[in-house]
Structure 1
């Protein structure tokens, strides 16, 4: 009798679990959780294309059945907590997380691209830097390697055992030798910095802000020397604190509760110059800053072209050391000619930063025809 009762309970529980999604879908009696899947969910089926109706209905149901988000989160949590795996994230040692798309797709793609385009990238940088110099504009370049290069001991074995992809190293070595380019070796700076403090978040793709501090300062130091200042325009010391944090990779995993860490963040220790203002836009810039006319001890205006790693420069007070600054952000299709058209008339510096998998930057300099258009734009520019 007990065995029969147990079987009935099991069957009843199975039926309830089977029917719950349909019941939830019909009644929505429980609030649904949200999941950022980085894609557009399937739309309801339409009779506009009868031959595809069943396929559309199946896709729509798969994306919208009741309790879907909860079930996805439950599965992802079990995978992560018990087996230390995730569909879209490499789970490393000591709580370090790495995007699968970055290590599995983007880095191999860049390595393959450089296999055929490295010389074109270097030549494009050389030609463009020379054209800038002829117009009295200095070029500074910073390329950021990602966390897996600095933390190989934190990678899961499945990634650590792969053959290394090192064409990016060859590119950086060549860029260091390009005339008229002030190349800031962020890799060397970060290797020195990691001797005293962490340089990357555990749950986020990015370097932490205190790691960006010496690189941003190195940029300002080099510009200060080039402008003949008695000392560096950069005057503020590094100040930082520890905070609880759950970064973008952690939030990207659809868990019931995202992993957290204790990470370090800068605290402001700089002084904004008199009359300093910073605004979003106008297009094509993401933000623009100015100071009061006649402010002393500042560097000449600069156009910054960078990605999300450059955001950490700004959180370190970078804009406080320029008479004016203008920012552009790398994105698909941003061409060098568009960057050139956006160089303000008062700019004396163009500072280019990009991470090692930023294909938009590599393609911008490898596009020979567009580099030529950019140089033509510079040559038509009046000399100030």
Structure 2
């Protein structure tokens, strides 16, 4: 018996046509106790729709871990490792492990007491003010103006492989008026969002809307991430859109980074192939990229109008390829309710924390993702011939 689905609720700003195959609400299913048949269907649905939402469900940390692990049964460690205190660059974000299930982390805002075995946890909602080069003024913040904090996928990007799926479970959701994301990049773009929303953009859409010339680059391109990228970027500043680092030379020098092994540095294709649909997703963490490599055109490809037909080694290309996909009409800001659980295809989209919260606005979420047992697959030779 097929699982019942409903469309996700899109904001008025969204281009509904671009979201026709993005996001679904799962109806009448207990995510903590799915049958093997239901789990197989959910697996395929996630890869088809990228985000699955379960409203008003009860899920224990153990059930959340088991659900996440079912997408990759041989995986064991959280995407940044189970002992987060040893993660270089951890000042960019804080994760508190749930006792007994260290792969499930408590994230959010404010001080939480007696929570799942934690007597006290001081949580801090990530804000653009700690990472961006420029900040929204205090006056505008008081009026509800905010920004995307940092567009990313959940991944260590060094040593450990990017998780296949992330699960997020809302235990406490703060209440308050909507805020307005201001891009502050000269475009005038703004987006109204619920308080403390999580924003998503589709990697498939990011690829699909590229020009044919840039699609050719995307299927031929590879990105090399910094060793210990979160330590590397911790001393730098992000752009006002949260989509990459400002070029100021403030990144941590290699000789000051924690000890690293060249073999553990990650080099990934710009586009990752969806294992169920076969479609390509433009999947690059914009803040951690050190170098870009573009392979030469295949011998059978036309060189007329092609970018980098003989290949290239670059350091600055991502922003102009990724910025169109975070336009207000292409962003899905999830309006959380308490006891909502979402699964998102971490290898097929980017997401960002949004908004500003005061200390007394409590937000408590359980997050789980697991470093994958495999590397993401890039485009096939047939894909390269098709788009190059």
Query: TM-score with structure 1 length normalisation?
Result: 0.25
Query: TM-score with structure 2 length normalisation?
Result: 0.25
Instruction: Write 1 or 2 for the structure with the bigger share of strand.
Output: 2
Larger radius of gyration: 1
